[in-house]
Amino acid sequence: MDTKVCLDTDVSIEILKNTTKASKLLDLTKDSEVYITTISIFELLLRETNLDAIEKLLLRTAILDFSELSARKAAEIFKDLKIKGQMIPLRDLLIASTAIANNCALATLNIKDFRNVKNLALLDFQ
């Protein structure tokens, strides 16, 4: 698989914990470019523990900023989900829009929140 993959916060936590799910994901993405959004960095840094491990993860992961294009995509997604009555948490909306704006598939364990986001590719690794 030669693709761009964006890690959701929950998957990043699995990697930090070195779980079986994380191992599957890392095997699946070994030939991929792996990214994390600035929104996920914010969420990770809210934690009280494993801050050193978080910094190590960030050193080996490319970072996607929340850009103007991400903001435009987020507004588009927000309006679409609102009309459908399928709103998701704001942080998830920002992560999804950043992944879409950067042509990344999103690796997440939280499929239910992201499955209704139009044009978002989800990486199935469970």
With a CB cutoff of 8 Å and minimum separation 6, the contacts of 98 are 6, 37, 38, 39, 64, 65, 66, 67, 70, 73
In whole angstroms, give the CA distance from residue 105 to residue 103.
Answer: 7
Angle subtended at Cα 62 by Cα 106 and Cα 41, rounded to the nearest 5 degrees: 70
Buried b (16+ CB within 10 A) or exposed e, 98-108: bbbbbebbbbb
pLDDT at 1: 47
Give the span between the Cα atoms of 28 and 113, in whole angstroms: 22
Residue pLDDT tens, the chain, 126 long: 468 999 999 999 999 999 998 888 888 888 899 999 999 999 999 999 889 999 999 998 999 999 999 999 999 999 999 999 999 999 999 999 999 999 999 999 999 999 999 999 999 776
pTM as predicted: 0.92
**Token pair of 104 as six digits:** 């990344």
> Which of 3, 6, 16 minimizes the C-alpha distance to 37?
6
Class of domain 4-123: alpha beta
Measured CA to CA, the distance from residue 90 to residue 106 in angstroms comes to: 16
DSSP string, 95-106: HHHHHHHTT-EE
Strands 105-107 and 122-123: parallel
